Chains A and B, each alone.
Chain A
Amino acid sequence: MRQPKIIPGVDPKLLIKDAARLMPDASRRGFLRGAASLGALAFLTGCDIIDGDTAEGVLRKVSAFNDGAQAALFSRTKLAPEFPESAITRPFPFNAYYDEDEAPEVDGKSYKLEVAGLVDNKKPWTLDELHALPEVSQVTRHVCVEGWSAIGSWQGTPLSEFLKRIGADTRAKYVWFKCAEGYTNTIDMPTALHPQTQMSFKFDHKILPRAYGFPMKIRIPTKLGFKNPKYVVAMEVTNTDKGGYWENQGYNWFSGL
């Protein structure tokens, strides 16, 4: 299909939508995304609009390459900067792909954290048992993929400590998290073992409110906000990359800071 230069006054995205109607359903979504991107590039360079799938495929390959580059840049010992309590952003923003009143309401009394995969002890953990774990605190910057940032204060137990207690095979590549509302997230083992990666039960020294992820959030100050799952109900130590809610839609997998 040959499409001449974009005509001034014609929305290139509408052109793409017209073209997408000709596509079978299964590939439409990806085509739309990649081709509209390419369409905008065509708008800039005067190139032809062709084969959006190829463009998207190439971009995803580069994103995978960037995962490797970021893993190489990642330092197991370099700490995210800490701030004084006075620097905490108040009110700390609620952020999710749904409204605050749609956030999951987890019953703390019946809550149990499921543990699965390459671990010695798969016994589920009650909230009381989790709260009894050693507590550390951090005041760090939460950086959203959208660009904004906010400084928050989290208390909980280092994930590395918890992984040790459940006898996790830390030679495994990934830790996968599942959340009450169905959100999922996979992180690399070096990040899971980073000293500041925390199973957080408190925000600003108070039990996590629903908005911030009650009963448990995984706080990772070395990763973008969407790699910090809230309302976590299960984790799995695994060698299989099970992806994640946003990663599967095109956000960079590693998303390290």
Chain B
Amino acid sequence: MTAETMTMTTAEAAIHPLWVRVCHWINAVAILVMIGSGWQIYDASPLFRFEFPRAIALGNWLGGALLWHFAAMWVLVVNGLVYLTLGFATGRFRRKLLPIYPSQVFVDAKAALTFNLAHDDLSRYNAVQKLLYTGVILCGALIVLSGLAIWKPVQFQELTALFGGYDVARYVHFFAMSAIVGFLMVHVVLALLVPKSLRAMIAGR
């Protein structure tokens, strides 16, 4: 490695190291496929009195959606495990996401809602970001675990029981999806409002 590339690597690490960006975009595609196909699967046996419009659901029919869902599943899980492993091993989670003080979350949330939140230093997350990023990582873990509980209620029956049974695990899976979709909407709007944050996730800085 030349001195120049080393400097570049160090500079890039200032906001988002390469592994974070690669994991982020792989995850973005995988999660969209999972959500789109999941909506189509939901429509086969809706839990509530609504269905997702076919135009925004993926797979054309239940069989197609299941093929997508159980293919993207591998991408989501393998990529997620790499992300979690590196996040813990490099200390990034601890550095970036902790500690989260409720009082600071309140102050930052108020500032954000009144468009007074500063984004001078993208390498430091504000308390709302810390809370949301930590929350969505936990939702990611929850949606994978509840998904396994639904997929394998015999082989992983202990896990299914932990969720309160097959039928409850379906609801957990649905609500975890809802939380992730809610996060995504806020996340995308904010990324567009602060374009340099989007640039940082693509170019690193």
Contacts and interface: CB of A to CB of B under 8 A. Distances in A.
A32 B62 contact: no
Contact of A62 (B45, B61, B70, B154): B70
Nearest to A196: B154
Contacts of B155: 73-75, 78, 256-257
A211 B153 CA distance: 26
A133 to B, nearest CB: 25
B8 interface: no
Given A11-B55, A41-B58, A78-B155, A146 B36 contact: no
Interface string B148-163: 0011111101000100
A257 B154 contact: yes
Contacts of B44: 145-147
Interface of A: 11-13, 32-34, 36-37, 40-41, 43-45, 56, 58-60, 62-63, 66, 73-75, 78-81, 141, 143-149, 221-222, 246, 249-252, 256-257
Query: Taking chain B's interface residues, is the majority helix, strand, or loop, or is none over half, making it mixed?
Result: helix
B71 A222 contact: no
**Most chain B CB inside 10 Å of its own CB: which residue of A11, A58, A62, A63:** A62
A32 B61 CA distance: 11
Interface string B78-97: 00000000000000000000
Interface residues of B, number: 37
Contact of B59 (A37, A43, A75): A37
Given A147-B45, A251-B66, 11 more contacts: A32-B60, A33-B64, A44-B58, A62-B67, A63-B71, A78-B154, A78-B155, A81-B153, A252-B67, A256-B152, A257-B152
Given A59-B71, A149-B167, A252 B66 contact: yes
Interface of B: 29, 32-33, 36, 41-42, 44-45, 54-68, 70-71, 74, 150-155, 157, 161, 166-167, 170
Given A62-B71, A149-B166, A252-B70, A45 B29 contact: yes
11 contacts: A11-B55, A33-B60, A36-B64, A37-B68, A41-B36, A41-B58, A44-B32, A81-B154, A81-B157, A146-B45, A257-B153
B63 to A, nearest CB: 4
B152 A250 contact: no
B198 to A, nearest CB: 15
Nearest to B57: A40
A41 B64 contact: no
B1 to A, nearest CB: 33
Contact of A256 (B64, B66, B154): B154
A44 to B, nearest CB: 5
A62 B74 CA distance: 9
Contacts of A11: 55
Contacts of B62: 145-146
Given A249-B63, A256-B152, A12 B55 contact: yes
